[in-house]
A and B are shown apart, each in its own frame.
Chain A
Amino acid sequence: MKKNKRYSIFSLARNARNYHENWAAAWRSPEPKPSYDAIIVGGGGHGLATAYYLAKQHGITNVALIEKGPIGLGNTGRNTTVIRSNYLWDESAAIYELSLKLYEGLSQELNYNIMLSQRGLVSLAHSQHDLREIERRVNAIRLNGIDSEMLSMAELKQLIPILNLSPNSRYPVIGASIQRRGGTARHDAIAWGYARAADDRGVDILQHTEVTGFRIQGGRVEGVETTRGFIAAPKVGVAVAGHSSVLADMAGFRLPISSHPLQAMVSEPLKPIFNTVLMSAAVHVYLSQSDRGELVMGAGIDKFNSYAQRGSPPILEDILAATVELFPIFSRVKMMRQWGGIVDVCPDASPIVGKTPVSGLYLNCGWGTGGFKSIPGSGFVFAHTIAQDEPHEIAAPFSLERFSTGALIDEHGASGVAH
């Protein structure tokens, strides 16, 4: 019997009649071929999106995607699913906005519901300094043609009635901005949706295949050594957040990256109580409520370097204290699950997307805490870069060379100090 591939309410109803026994696998599990036109290393969102756009935009379908474990279980499956494009600098705004636009049509494009929920992303200001920074950002974002607004205290109260707006709190909220197109999406669905669509276009997704080295001849990459043998390809793209420096080391160059744990957590499921995404840089937490009803929270990175996907408790205490401070009614809500991922952070907190010292070897890394929201845009420009052997216009500012030229795109900046 022909297996069912297309997803819709009708195919779901049809399949209900035979107990869903005829659904096709979302993606194949093929044996590796000896050679491909291109190899993508890393089966997270970035790698999967890259493979998909290589096939779709550039007609390069003889592609292997190599992943050492099952796909989508690194940072793609560990983040807090926040999507936004309200970045200060033009270069960042361009790539995150491309990403958000692609996200907006992704469920239909992939025929896989990624549950993009554009319920608005609110940033709080707790001091004159915060307010100035937020207003600067909003001005820049709007002039870049991206949606962003300031919220009055009355609007904020209406939008999030449970937020602590008392002028007597330690750091009273004195203002806020909102990107209404910001929100969340289902993280696993991004990985699985891209995998299914890429597979459909001929990409071989090779799970449980670990890269052990690169074969480089005369400064050109010839393929990768893996735990399943050598696989040849004239072009290799690497998107392995958390281990970028390790793979760069295998290829013989160094990256200006430090790897840190980034922790996140969810509460037990609650009935809908909080319908936006909230960020506070000063009281340091970001928070949303998932469709299952869990409060999803995160904050800053652990300060130490690590490759272990676990963090330390002080960060948890800080995040939860900040949450209770902003939402006193959540004090008796319980943290249900807590975990960590490893983020690769560049000195300017912006990513690296582009060519490397090795010809034919391309790199996509350093997204820090912004990896999830950038998946479609990052995959789109990275696929272009690989296909054309030339950075996509939007990716060009994010070259590795910027660390020698000094053309940094400093998104964390020196904000936070004042006389």
Chain B
Amino acid sequence: MKRQRNRLDVGARIDRSRRLRFHFNGKPYEGFAGDTLASALLANGVRVVARSFKYHRPRGIYSAGMEEPNALVQLGGGASSEPNLRATQVELFDGLEAASVNCWPSVNFDIWAFNDRVSGLLPAGFYYKTFMWPKSFWHSYEKVIRKGAGLGTAPEMPDHNIYEKRHQHCDVLVVGGGPAGISAALAAGRSGARVILADEQAELGGALLGNGERIEAASGVDWAMGARAELDGMDEVRVLSRTTAFGYYDHNYVLMVERVNDHLGAPPGTLRQRLWKIRARQVVLATGSIERPMVFADNDRPGVMLAGAARTYINRFGVKPGNRAVLYGNNDHIHQVALDLADAGVRVEAVVDVRAKAVGEAVAAVRERGIEVMAGHAVGGALGKKRLRGVEVLALNEKGDGFAGDIRRLRCDLLCLSGGWTPTVHLFSQSGGKLDYSENQACFLPGEARQAVSVAGAANGVFALKGCLGEGAAAGRSAAGKLGFREVGAPEALPVAQGEAGALMPVWRLPPVSKGERRFVDLHGDVTVSDIELAAREGYSANEHLKRYTSTGMGPDQGRTGNMHALGILADIRGESIPAVGTTTFRPPYTPVPYGVMAGRDVGVLADPVRMTAMHGWHERSGAVFDDVGQWKRPWYFPRTGEGMAAAVRRECIAARSGVAILDASTLGKIDIQGPDAAKFLNRVYTNSWNKLAVGRCRYGLMLGEDGMVMDDGVTSRLAENHYFMTTTSGGAARVMAWLEDWLQCEWPELKVYLTSVTEQWATLSISGPNARRLLSELAEGVDLEADAFPHMVVRSGKVAGIEARISRVSFTGELGYEVSVATSYGLALWQAFQRVGENYDLTPIGTEALHVLRAEKGYIAVGHDTDGSVTPGDLGMDWIVSKKKDFIGRRSLARADTMRTDRKHFVGLLPETRVPEGAQIVAEYKRRPPMKMIGHVTSCYDSAALGRPIALALIAGGRERIGETVTIPLTLQGRVVKAEITSPVFYDPKGERLNG
């Protein structure tokens, strides 16, 4: 194991007593607790950590945070493998394994780097201009392109961690735990408001952790630790570290991900991350800012780094990011960083400042240390390939937009850049807030807000520490104050020394030093200044077009370090101001979010609730095969040992026709309807009339959509004067309930009708067959079951097997039938009671398949099976159920020209030669090859035991006029053709004698 040769001996927020071992690209290294993977790699002198997306250029660590464009790694392996993590954000743990992505065979020798050699052929959008010939070859080209693209690899195994979600309300949500956010949380917390402070880092402090600034007599870090202690002591304040707010939606709804134990390696089975869904009354965004780089030739070489990152590596991680440094920028920050570097023992060659007059305290201090300040100069290019070896510096002309004088070479292995700061306005923009451009600071700042949100500190363009503390406190106080919370004894503003600062001089683009050089704007996507110029030349000069044509800002870093330069260069080319060119939309998420945490527990068996009836356990024990009907598990058929589906269904059908069968009908939707206007309501939602339905009677109803098409059906009974009980299809229950409520609440608020879904409150079984009455009579008490006393479509209350029950005489099989409903908790007891007495009757449990055969023999429709939203009652031959005397939903649509056509598709029966798959199409004229004109399709098809042959139901154009004709069913999937005769849809007992028996 190698020594951590770039590690400083003292200082920083790492624990030198806790050594952590890790592997990178298969090699062992050592770091300390408190390190990130990036800081540990730098400490170990690892320079090349990644390859770029397009040209596969060697890349090093560029930043110290989420803005990192280069250092993407694949973490772990197997079930813990995670692609595309930023090494700058991965907290080191013992045993960590990481590897570079997008390179082969290794990051140091990558075959794909051939792309860099032929980069002249691969400018922005090159793929739109070629790979078009020969036509059939694109698929082959594409395969190669796809292999070259992509970054990390998808894991090969399912995730072994779990995720959860939490909903939380709060008064004030503070996003960002730097000086401004801490101050806001303290102010709001001291007033007694319920506060959540969320920060993406492991510990509070934000920029203070890395910049070494002081507050009062203490270090900034100590101040932050003190604040943390105070916040932890407040009952109504919750501090969430390692938590990133990534989405800001309407009504101050903010989504955040908390990384619960990634920093411990997230052992198998543990909770890895938590999704917080926050509804905040007020939001304070103290999201800080991101440093911008400078743009010049080969500005992507390993060793080129943001100035603030270099500072962070020294002050927070105790790592020397290089031995010999040049700093280059357009503002005071490079001078401050030069001092920190010098203090850490780095040899500072020069500070190259584009400003002709570099003045201010920091500049003076640098000069005092004897470091050369090259004012009015620029870096023209970087030297070296896999590591930075030097820079070329040129003097700028008087206007500062071109070069004057000769190239001077400086040797260095570290180049620190600062091109100013871009406030992190992503969440503010997501919230709907407007952005205003600040010419002074050359950045977009939050403008008019659309939601209850304020922005403080660097995110608001206030970059100096003193301002951050003051503005944060004011924002926290104001947010809580708006909600009626008053801070008691507000402390004085903290004394912070603030030096005189020089103004920033924005430089977006300088002329090339030599033709064909590559100046990278978006490091991740390998987008150069020339690419932007080309896009503009070709007319893709709208900001959004530029982004899409060049893919600027489309990578995992979302262009955090490059977007402002792209915009500035585009504005420069167009000769317009930056605000005129505009900014692209900031879209969620702020940083990439794992699918797993968004899915939470809603995967596997919990993907959707499983609904089971009270009798489910019995069905399972009895060997039922289940079918998913919506969320319900319904017995499909009950095979006996060694029995196949066809034989089981046949047996079940014969039982229902010759003896007695029992079916679990609990899944049918049930809606309790009460109120003086209930009959009026039913009249409006069903096609038939409900005025004359007597108490104790049932009626079948058909429900249409506004388009006049059948949407649901079922039997409704009248239990009392103003009390009805509706049943719906199993699959349509929720939809019908919502539909009815919609009409009641939005269209007919004057109706006094109250709906209650009672699907889950009642367990229902249905018995049918010639012996149904005899069977029921053994269990029913106090109900006269004789045909005259209890005819078809009548409902009675009574006791069945000693349980309070509703008994209705209804049938979906065409046999004498009863439905018995009891409270769900008694469902199983009732079912078992029937099994007990049923032994004498050879009572046969049947599933939905047999039910379908039985109802199809009778020509009864199954909504959603025989109908598909394009079928009217008339099409079904059910005009008898459509009232001509009253209005109902869908009535007007039935009077339209097309719905009144006589050659519409009619519901008919078919006698096919052999059983055909449901969904088979019917043609009038069979041809050997498609296309063929289709005249309808088979909606249901079964082998009928009662008829001893296959039967089918179908929708056929003009079908009722074609009864007796033979049609053809071409089964192109099976390679056969079946003939069928059109018949009436009622195959069995057309007079309905069995039903009324």
Contact = CB atoms under 8 A, between A and B. Distances in A.
Interface stretch (A31-39, A329-337, A351-359): A329-337
A381 to B, nearest CB: 19
B588 interface: yes
A178 interface: no
B537 A335 contact: no
Given A19-B530, A291-B142, A292-B149, A145 B81 contact: no
A127 B636 CA distance: 12
A227 interface: no
Interface string B133-157: 1010011001001110111111111
Contacts of A316: 598
A129 B130 contact: no
Interface in B935-976: 937, 970-973
B592 interface: yes
B153 A271 contact: yes
A401 to B, nearest CB: 9
Interface residues of A, number: 117
Interface string A392-419: 0000000000101111101011111111
Interface stretch (A4-12, A50-58, A213-221, A243-251): A4-12
B642 interface: no
A418 B548 CA distance: 45
Contact of B515 (A19, A105, A291, A325): A19
Contacts of B729: 417-419
Contacts of A331: 155, 158-159, 594-596, 599, 603
Interface stretch (B55-63, B457-465, B673-681, B730-738): B730-738
Contacts of A169: 604-605, 607
Interface in B302-361: none
Nearest to B632: A418
Given A8-B129, A170-B605, A320-B598, A139 B592 contact: no
Interface in B442-500: none
Given A113-B127, A335-B592, A339-B587, A143 B970 contact: yes
A16 interface: yes
Interface in B899-936: 899, 917-921, 923, 929-932, 934
A405 B892 CA distance: 11
A73 B544 contact: yes
A107 B154 contact: no
A406 B897 contact: yes
A154 interface: no
A313 B253 CA distance: 9
A206 interface: no
B864 A417 contact: yes
A310 B555 CA distance: 21
A417 B864 CA distance: 5
B865 A419 contact: yes
A329 B157 contact: yes
Contact of B599 (A189, A324, A336): A324
A191 B152 CA distance: 31
Contact of B898 (A25, A145, A293, A405): A405
Given A19-B530, A142-B973, A417-B863, A328 B159 contact: yes
* Contact-size category for B: 35 or more
B869 interface: yes
Contact of A406 (B544, B628, B707, B848): B707
B864 A268 contact: no
Interface in A282-308: 283, 289, 291-293
A189 B128 contact: yes
A311 B227 CA distance: 38
A324 B129 contact: no
Contacts of A310: 249
A24 B154 CA distance: 41
Contacts of B156: 329
B607 A135 contact: no
Nearest to A336: B592
Contact of A115 (B126, B138, B277, B869): B138
A211 B919 CA distance: 47
B235 interface: no
B851 interface: yes
Contact of A415 (B82, B247, B558, B864): B864
A129 B628 CA distance: 9
Contacts of A269: 53, 84, 149-151, 555-556
Contacts of A12: 121, 126, 129-130
A85 interface: no
Nearest to A166: B604
A320 B607 CA distance: 11
B123 interface: yes
B603 A325 contact: yes
Contacts of B604: 169-170, 325
Nearest to A174: B628
A317 B602 contact: yes
A139 B972 contact: yes
Interface in B520-542: 530, 534, 537-540, 542
Contacts of A127: 627-629
B587 A338 contact: yes
B710 interface: yes
Nearest to B973: A150
A133 interface: yes
Contacts of A228: none
A153 interface: no
Contacts of A322: 607
A273 B158 CA distance: 14
Contacts of B710: 414
A137 B972 CA distance: 12
B972 to A, nearest CB: 5
Contacts of A143: 921, 923, 930-932, 934, 970, 972
A310 B156 CA distance: 33
A16 B120 contact: yes
Contact of B918 (A136, A268, A328): A136
Nearest to A72: B545
Contacts of B551: 292
A390 interface: no
A29 interface: yes
A9 B869 CA distance: 52
Contacts of B408: none
Given A107-B132, A142-B973, A408 B707 contact: yes
Interface in B276-291: 277
A227 to B, nearest CB: 16
Contacts of A273: 153-154
Contacts of B588: 338
B842 interface: no
Interface in A175-198: 186, 188-189, 192-193
Nearest to A306: B250
A347 interface: yes
Contact of B146 (A170, A293, A323): A293
27 contacts: A8-B133, A11-B129, A17-B120, A26-B539, A69-B542, A70-B544, A73-B545, A108-B132, A113-B127, A126-B628, A138-B919, A139-B971, A143-B921, A171-B628, A189-B128, A291-B146, A292-B149, A310-B249, A320-B598, A324-B159, A331-B595, A402-B898, A404-B897, A406-B708, A410-B869, A417-B735, A419-B851
Interface of B: 53, 80-84, 102, 120-121, 123, 126-133, 135, 138-139, 142, 145-147, 149-159, 247, 249-250, 253, 255, 277, 515-516, 530, 534, 537-540, 542, 544-545, 548-549, 551, 554-556, 558, 585, 587-589, 592-596, 598-600, 602-608, 610, 627-630, 636, 668, 705-712, 729-732, 735, 812, 848, 851-852, 855, 862-865, 867-870, 893, 896-899, 917-921, 923, 929-932, 934, 937, 970-973
Given A111-B132, A331-B595, 11 more contacts: A16-B120, A135-B919, A171-B608, A271-B151, A272-B150, A273-B154, A313-B247, A325-B603, A335-B592, A417-B731, A419-B731
Q: Which 5 A-B pairs have the closest CB atoms?
A: A293-B150, A136-B919, A406-B896, A414-B869, A417-B864
